[in-house]
Homo-oligomer: A and B are copies of this chain.
Amino acid sequence: MGEATIKAKLAKKASAELARLSTREKDKVLEKMAQVLIDKWESIVEENIKDLDMAKKNGKSEAFIDRLMLNQDRVLAMAKGLRSLINLNDPVGETIGGWIRPNGMEISQIRVPLGLVGIIYESRPNVTADGIGLCIKTGNAVILRGGSDAINSNSIIADLMSQAAYEAGLAEGSIQLVKDTDRSSVLELTKLNGIVDVLIPRGGPGLIKAIVENSSVPVIETGAGNCHVYVDGQCDHKMALDIVVNAKVNRPGVCNAAETLLIDREIAPSLLPDLASALIEKGVELRGCPETLKYLKDIKPASEEDWDEEYLSLIMAVKVVDGIDQAIDHINRHGTGHSEAIVTSNYNNAKTFSDRVDAAAVYVNVSTRFTDGDEYGFGAEIGISTQKLHARGPMGLKELTTYKYIVRGTGQIR
């Protein structure tokens, strides 16, 4: 039995007790965990330096090192994140529905924790604190498996938080970090049916694909976002400029950033040059379809692969389409079901786009960048689901729960 299995079993055992904690008890644990991060920020930063040194030695990129790096501000932000959970509604115990059957039995559908949540992630140490906080708030035990690059940072964060949590009354074993960073420990987690109730991978497409393909434990697939903005023939030009630029350049490295611009043939001659100038001015490299190249002489042609690429950088593919039907077909063929936007002033096209685009989030005259738990008002986010089962789009506290039916009667038999 590997470390992951041993720790998962301990966490599963603790989960029954954890599920019964009141909101007040869980909030007390969250406060203690926030406090320990504040008190010990220097020790955390010290451990983080070990990870940073190793990353530099291994020649990791600047972006990588930035994701890995912790300083006082970033540790305090983690504590603030935990405290913000205290103010959120506890979804556990909510009566989702209830009715009485003709034979007199009373059925209630009650929201309960999932049990044991597994989170598999890469080099962002803040996921350790976020993941623990979200699971504790929802009454779930948690097993974390972070990447080897952040092992020192993750270890101290998980150790400090679980110590503080147990002192505040949490069942021992509820919080587990797998310290074996060999790939085999990930594989081990994916096979723990009946122990781990759900696995949430957070990271790059390679990690997510490996887990989806190998896991017999239910997985919530997150992340991949090949998002489009379609600029309709009838639209406010200024709004189109604002939304396209925002969706592409506001934060190009995240999953809700736009990768492809689709534009109606009707409006391409008048609007495409302005759109291109605005994007190029912000440092965006454009790659166009043959028709786009007629209007934009100086850009690269797009290859077939470009339509499926999630650049996650300042590159944007551009395609001129023959109206809304072609736009929707393109999106439903090449999109990843994440976030899709239309800019239009035409009622019918707004409705057609909303109805027919198959994605977690469909935007009418809004930037794709809003697909986010905070922006939706959830207060917290465990990830953005790109699958259709259980949860779709931003996942908050509710999405970390399931339900059970409680049926009360007076001796009903069949």
Contact = CB atoms under 8 A, between A and B. Distances in A.
Contacts of A115: 358, 388
A356 interface: yes
Interface residues of A, number: 67
A180 B378 CA distance: 47
A402 B389 contact: yes
A355 interface: yes
Contact of A101 (B236, B376, B403): B376
A379 to B, nearest CB: 12
A220 interface: yes
Contacts of A406: 354, 361-362, 364
A365 to B, nearest CB: 5
A58 interface: no
A405 B390 contact: no
Contacts of A16: 332, 356, 358
Mostly helix, strand, loop or mixed at chain A's interface? Answer: mixed
A290 to B, nearest CB: 26
A380 interface: no
Contact of A366 (B243, B367, B402, B412): B412
Interface in A370-414: 370-371, 375-377, 387-390, 392-393, 402-414
Contacts of A377: 99, 101, 107
Counted per complex, copies of this chain come to 2
Interface stretch (A141-149, A160-168, A210-218, A274-282): A210-218
Contact of A250 (B358, B363, B413): B413
A198 B389 contact: yes
A413 B367 contact: yes
A359 interface: yes
A33 interface: no
A46 interface: no
A407 B363 contact: yes
B411 A242 contact: yes
A395 to B, nearest CB: 12
Contacts of A213: 216
A47 interface: no
Nearest to A385: B402
A67 interface: no
B414 A402 contact: no
Interface in A219-240: 219-220, 236, 239
A264 B214 CA distance: 44
A239 B411 CA distance: 6
